[in-house]
Chains A and B, each alone.
Chain A
Amino acid sequence: MVLDIFILLCLLVLTPQTVIAVDKGNFKTCSQSNFCQRNRNLPEGEPRYHVFPSSVTPEPDKGILSFHIKDNNGVTLFAVLQTLQQGILRFSLKEFHPVPTHERFSPSEFSLDNEPTKLPFKVLSQSDTQIYIQNGEIQAQIEFSPFQLSALREGQPFVVINKRNLMNFEPFMSKDDWNASGVDVEGTWEENFKSHRDSNPFGPSSIGIDVRFLGAKHLYGLPEHSDGLSLSDTKSDGGDPYRLYNLDVFEYEVNNRMALYGAVPLVYSIGANGSNGFFWLNAAETWVDVQKVSDGGDSVVGSLLNSVFNSGGSSYIDTHWMSETGLLDFFILPGPTPSSVSEQYSQLTGVTPLPALWSLGYHQCRWNYKDQEDVAQVDANLEANLIPYDAIWLDIEHTDGKKYFTWDANKFPDSIAMLDKLAERNHKLVVIIDPHIKREDNYRIYKELKERGYLVKSSDGSSDYEGACWPGGSSWPDFLSQEVRQYWSECYLVENYSGSTSNLHVWNDMNEPSVFTGPEVTMHKDAVHMGGWEHRDIHNLYGLLVTLGTYEGLLMRSKHQERPFILTRSVFPGSQRYSAVWTGDNEASWGHLKIVVPMVLQMGLGGIPFVGSDVGGFFKHPSPELLVRWYQVGAYSPFFRQHAHIDTPRREPWLFGEDNLRIIRDAITDRYQLLPYWYTLFYLHTQSGAPVVRPLWYEFPEDYNTWDMYEQAMVGSAIMISPVTEIGQASQEVYFPDEDSIWYDKKSFVRFTGGETRSVSTPLDKIPVFLRGGSVIPFRMRVRRSSNPNPDDPFTLYVVLDGKQEASGCLYWDDGHSFSYKDGNYLIREFSYKNGEFSSAAGATSGGFSTKSWIERILVIGLKGKPIKVALSSSGDELFTKWDLDSKTLEIRKPVENIKTDVKIRFSF
């Protein structure tokens, strides 16, 4: 009976509704979330927390400054300020007296790449009222009464904590004590939402803090929201704060601050103090209010004044961070540039390791390719239509009754033959493996998980938590446990995963986790994990833990030889180390296409660079025009996959007529030709944490015109995209940032001057993509069946000159799939053009990768005139060149016999 209801509910969730729109009633507003209300309603400016001066204990050599804070009720809290690398400050706060009932959870073990390095600080001054210390270029000042923490650069504060006295720390206490405290009990201990009751046995333990970004004009970050890039003022429109609570939101809306599948509590500011960051490390439900306070309004003059760094503009942005429970733990990232904030963040939470080259190619997915024959047909059609691709994907229908790690034997009678046939032509298979486990006793994995007590428990702490998802009645492995993750990892071993080979890769969906029958379509907060942690404590971390288990499994499968590929829907700080992510179940509409770029940018700022959207839109059927435009966006997104809902008509590229096929093929070809550049960007990300696709302001923070832009983006620092996201758009306005820059159309090489907005014509086959003067961009013009069938294929270099007739760039290359780069099997080439000479030289850390790959062509764009002679500097041997009069480009034919050869080429005018 219960199961029947589950199935029914499952069907309801599956049902496409006639009107596509999120049912907002299924999700809490701040007013329906008791702790959000409690914190949001705190009176501003009433001092509540005071440092106990004699408790202040600086340990400069250890980089630790500890002290006690007392609240107005006399409760003592224990605070620690740590001074970390690059001036990063970490502050954490917990109860001073051990809590008998429950501890405060910290996701540090999973989110932080490793324990951050503490650096010694210097005490500049200390008194009964404050302490002032120096950490590298950054100072920190703690004022004691009331407690206030400021981060300063050259004595100028840029971030102030608890300026508004909204800090809140609800210590765990007994229900009687809570009642005695006189705070309204309704909803604090037990909370009801719709038909669900949260027993909340440990009572209120929420935390909150206010953070002021001095001089800031914009804040960005807080993925994942389907919102524009610059965070909006959440107080002025009477709406809710930004919510961070990983949820499976059916048919989500665009331009909304509702929670989505992922949560990264990180913001970047930009303004008079450059760019600073704030990272709130907490895995519980979190809300963030943003309030913009501007002195001179948003006038151009005001912006202009404030755009001068360190000029002390007096506008600021206030934020208020509220979490339901957990350790109060945050980091101030001092910047002062966007790239230094992302670097500081990546030093804490890690980077996406080099992805397998194939995973940067084109992915063909659908819910569902029905059977082996269907897979073979799609493969054959892609080939017949000259569309390169790297992976074909199978959604949930490939399994036997949604039991993951199994196959529907009727549809996939010989999955190994299928996998091997794909592998012959260098194609991969990606299959979905979700974390909900069908409760069926003859399902081995369920049986073992149950028998070993590896499943998340219900609120009673002993029976297995049960809910509904695709298979009907399901339970969820407790990924918080290392032992359970180990079990999960072993499921991926070829010997355990029947019908799999090493050519199979993994998609972890529904890992928020999605529970069709749970409150807000997720797990009950009072469900119990190992060690007695409540689901409430760890919720936003669950998706990361699933991918961690999968990542370890795929590593084990290849005996640590091959780079795993995992796609996840749910993310948390640290997820970037294990998986790529996509923006979830979007829909085939122009509004959803328009939101792709900002969502990709937001995720990249959140330290997760490998991101993309379902090309075409998951729900509903795109018009050919929308589909084509989406391909053009997808080709310039880090993760590039077409996907579609089972109820939509087929939408593979060849189904829309010859013209559309050609334009789609062109977009995919663009992607493949640029793979060396994409790959190099992912390498650069591993070095600095820089997002692969990034906002214009990230690259040009001093050009304030870019601060509020989100429809254009930079792919690395050399390519700007301004994709068309509107129907019937024959031309569009493009802003070319930075008045010192020169830009060139990627195809026609038409020149544009920085600092100007120009109209460019955008027929359907036009992707507005521009090359930045001053760059050298590596291409591979030969497009094959997939990303890398012939490693000897040559490179082409675009040398795009700036106003000084100079350019530089680099290439990272290796075998594209193994970890041998860690043993030095890679190469880095540094290219430059300066003073009429092109040079290709080994990078400072160039490794020993050996290859026969060569440079077939150098295309020089933006030369002032045609050179009279182009010759090797060493021998004086003249090189064969072709000058194109129309585009004023010079093509050098077969200049370098091996990519590793150091070479200089002299241009004589």
Chain B
Amino acid sequence: MKLILILFPLITTLLCSPMQSSPVQIVGVAPSQKVFYENSDGYFTCKDYSFTFPFSHVNDDFCDCPDGSDEPSTAACPNGEFYCINSAFRPKTIPSRLVNDGFCDCCDGTDEYKSPSGLLCENTCVEKGRQEIDRLKKYEIIHQEGYRQKLEFIELAVHKRVEKNEELVILKDEIENASDEMYKAELAKNDAEELANEAKERHKEIAEALKQEALQNKISGVFNEIDTNGDTLVSTEELKTRSELDTNGDGVADEAELRVLFGEELEGGVTDQEFTKHWGEYQAVNRAFQRKQDEIIHAIKQGKETRVPKLQSANGNDQEAEENSESDDEPFEDEAPPPSDSEEINIEFDAETNALIATADQTRRLYDDAKRVHDDIQGKIAEINKFLTLDLGNDHEFYPISEKCFSRDDREYTYELCPFNKVVQRPKSGGRETSLGVWGEWENTEHKHEAMMYNKGERCWNGPERNTKVIVLCGSSSELISVDEPDRCQYLFYFRTPAGCKESLAESRLHRHDEL
């Protein structure tokens, strides 16, 4: 805006004395309000009827009315308003504090009728009007094209919804059948499983008895091996020869070690029965022994320092040695644990049981298949329902963009908006993408469908979760027109799309700065 500097005529200063000045011409009044400022009886009443006073107080640069109505042309009232006619452009009401403040707020320049330093405003309304008409024409074209496409979008959406609804009808039929099938298969499966389980149960009892017998045989075998003299008692001497019972690794299984295992029953030798009673303890000690043997072998194989000295360490250090070997021996962890007694005997089912198990397996497979079919259909139904209930606009006009993604680059990043899905940011230099939010909801604006919220993005370091607000504008094509981060980790996108166009140009927001 160009300002022209002129000198005030000298006479102005004489007329400007506030004491005697006659009211300045009534500028800043809307035509519809002019009637208030007609001096009919020499008095003026504030618009809010608060005071009546001589008409000479109108526009005398002193605020008399609480509503500011007595000073339409001056800056005297804090809440005053000044109306610029702006012929050839748009009328505008500005706060009266902007009157004569050295800046041309009205394109007709009427707000600076007594500007400080004598600035005069050039009337730019014609030019602005022309620009406005050009702009409106441009907008009109964009809007028309946008709205035309929006109708196409709606049609696409209608078709899609019809398609989806038809699909839904079929799927609903299908899911009924599938439910039936699944129910039947489940019954058959349950029956067969019951029969198979009963047979297994029966067989298990027999197998348990066999297992006990086998265990007893094993125990007796060991007992007999220890009982070298065959007197059906294992004596302390016989036990002392057993290196696996040398729990502290000092080379001999002494009485103390043996007493830990067998207790009182060591006195006078351990009978077969007593040995069976202590089989558990024996097995534990034996297993630990086997483990240490394996360690030594392993260490030797690895060519590392042998752990023999540790095994031979003195009493009291055993605990530590044990702990060390525990923690140091990660490689052994992977090896299969020693077989437990109960698994030493494989149970073979008889033919009848096997047949029942096979039947049960078969019916289970059939059930699983039926369930999969059912769940697939259910999944499809859920997907369609989600689609049908997704708020894609009053006429579902946002449908076509819901299947696409839109991106925009700034200096460092590529931003991508996948409407109704997610927003991400990708460094242009490569590297991991960052979520700026996933679809949340339409923001509750006056007309709805004007701003989308994407929430719960990746949390900022020491900050909040990222989120993105996408403001939807009307355009003749769909395009992400700007990306911004006004607050740390709070993104603001402007997105232009035909879906954002309204029927009338006036309602369509075409520009970033159209206020929400």
Contacts and interface: CB of A to CB of B under 8 A. Distances in A.
Interface stretch (B85-93, B99-107, B324-332, B418-426): B99-107
B76 A897 contact: no
A857 B64 CA distance: 11
A740 interface: no
A648 B100 CA distance: 38
A396 to B, nearest CB: 16
Interface stretch (B15-23, B150-158, B228-236, B396-404): B15-23
Contact of A785 (B13, B64, B97): B97
A646 interface: yes
A141 B62 CA distance: 64
Given A15-B462, A424-B103, A782 B97 contact: yes
Interface string A780-804: 0111110001111110000000000
B186 to A, nearest CB: 54
Interface stretch (B252-260, B433-441, B447-455, B482-490): B482-490
Given A386-B97, A646-B488, A649-B490, A790 B76 contact: no
Contact of B19 (A785, A789, A894): A894
Q: Which of B19, B76, B101, B462 neighbours the largest number of chain A CB atoms within 10 Å of its CB?
A: B101
Main SS of chain A's interface residues?
A: loop
Given A650-B487, A893-B62, A785 B101 contact: yes
B95 interface: yes
A790 B488 contact: no
Interface string A402-445: 00000000100000000000001110000000000000000000
B416 to A, nearest CB: 21
Nearest to B411: A410
B19 A647 contact: no
B101 to A, nearest CB: 4
A785 B103 contact: yes
Which of the listed residues A425, A782, A794 has the most CB atoms from chain B within 10 Å of its own CB?
Answer: A782
A127 to B, nearest CB: 71
Interface SS of chain B: helix, strand, loop or mixed? loop
A370 B488 CA distance: 11
Nearest to A371: B484
A408 to B, nearest CB: 11
B17 A897 contact: yes
Given A783-B78, A790-B75, A852 B488 contact: no
A856 B98 CA distance: 18
A783 B97 contact: yes
Interface residues of B, number: 28
B97 A792 contact: no
Interface in A1-35: 15-16, 18
Contacts of A793: 75
A790 B61 contact: no
A256 to B, nearest CB: 25
Contacts of A792: 116
A647 B463 contact: yes
A852 B76 CA distance: 15
Contact of A782 (B1, B13, B76): B76
Interface in A759-814: 781-785, 789-794
Given A386-B95, A649-B490, A854 B78 contact: no
Given A650-B487, A790-B102, A854-B18, A16 B462 contact: yes
Nearest to A854: B18
B103 A782 contact: no
A795 B490 CA distance: 45
A85 to B, nearest CB: 43
Contacts of B75: 782, 784, 790, 793
A784 B97 contact: yes
Contacts of A386: 95, 97
Interface in A851-877: 852, 854, 856-857
B468 to A, nearest CB: 15
Given A791-B116, A856-B76, A426 B488 contact: no
B437 to A, nearest CB: 16
Interface in B452-495: 462-463, 486-488, 490
Contacts of B16: 852
A142 to B, nearest CB: 61
Given A386-B97, A650-B486, A856-B61, A789 B116 contact: yes
A494 to B, nearest CB: 22
A784 B60 CA distance: 19
A18 B78 CA distance: 45
B21 to A, nearest CB: 10
B102 A789 contact: yes
Contacts of A18: 462
Contacts of B98: 784-785
A901 to B, nearest CB: 10
Interface string B64-81: 100000000001101000
Contacts of A424: 1, 103
Nearest to A16: B462
Interface string B1-32: 10000000000010011110000000000000
Contacts of A649: 487-488, 490
A606 B487 CA distance: 38
Interface in A514-564: none
Contacts of A852: 13, 16
Nearest to A783: B97
Contacts of A426: 101-103
A160 B5 CA distance: 66
B215 to A, nearest CB: 61
A343 to B, nearest CB: 37
B95 A790 contact: no
A663 B62 CA distance: 25
A440 B411 CA distance: 23
Interface string A833-854: 0000000000000000000101
A647 B18 contact: no
Contacts of B462: 15-16, 18, 647
Contacts of A789: 101-103, 116
Contacts of B411: 410
Contacts of B18: 794, 854, 856, 894, 897
Interface in B11-55: 13, 16-19
A406 to B, nearest CB: 17
Contacts of B488: 646-649
Contacts of A782: 75-76, 78, 97
Interface string A388-407: 00000000000000000000
Nearest to A386: B95
B214 to A, nearest CB: 64
A426 B98 CA distance: 12
A857 B76 CA distance: 11
A654 to B, nearest CB: 12
B100 A790 contact: yes
A781 B486 contact: no
B101 A784 contact: yes
Nearest to A789: B101
Contacts of B78: 781-783
Contacts of A648: 488
Given A410-B411, A650-B486, A785-B97, 7 more contacts: A426-B103, A782-B78, A784-B97, A793-B75, A852-B16, A856-B62, A894-B61
Interface of B: 1, 13, 16-19, 60-62, 64, 75-76, 78, 95, 97-98, 100-103, 116, 411, 462-463, 486-488, 490
22 contacts: A15-B462, A16-B462, A425-B103, A426-B102, A647-B463, A649-B490, A650-B487, A782-B78, A784-B75, A784-B97, A785-B97, A785-B98, A789-B103, A790-B75, A790-B116, A793-B75, A794-B61, A854-B18, A856-B76, A893-B62, A894-B18, A894-B19
Interface of A: 15-16, 18, 370, 374, 386, 410, 424-426, 646-650, 781-785, 789-794, 852, 854, 856-857, 893-894, 897
Which 6 A-B residue pairings sit nearest by Cβ, starting from the closest? A789-B101, A790-B116, A897-B19, A789-B102, A650-B487, A649-B487
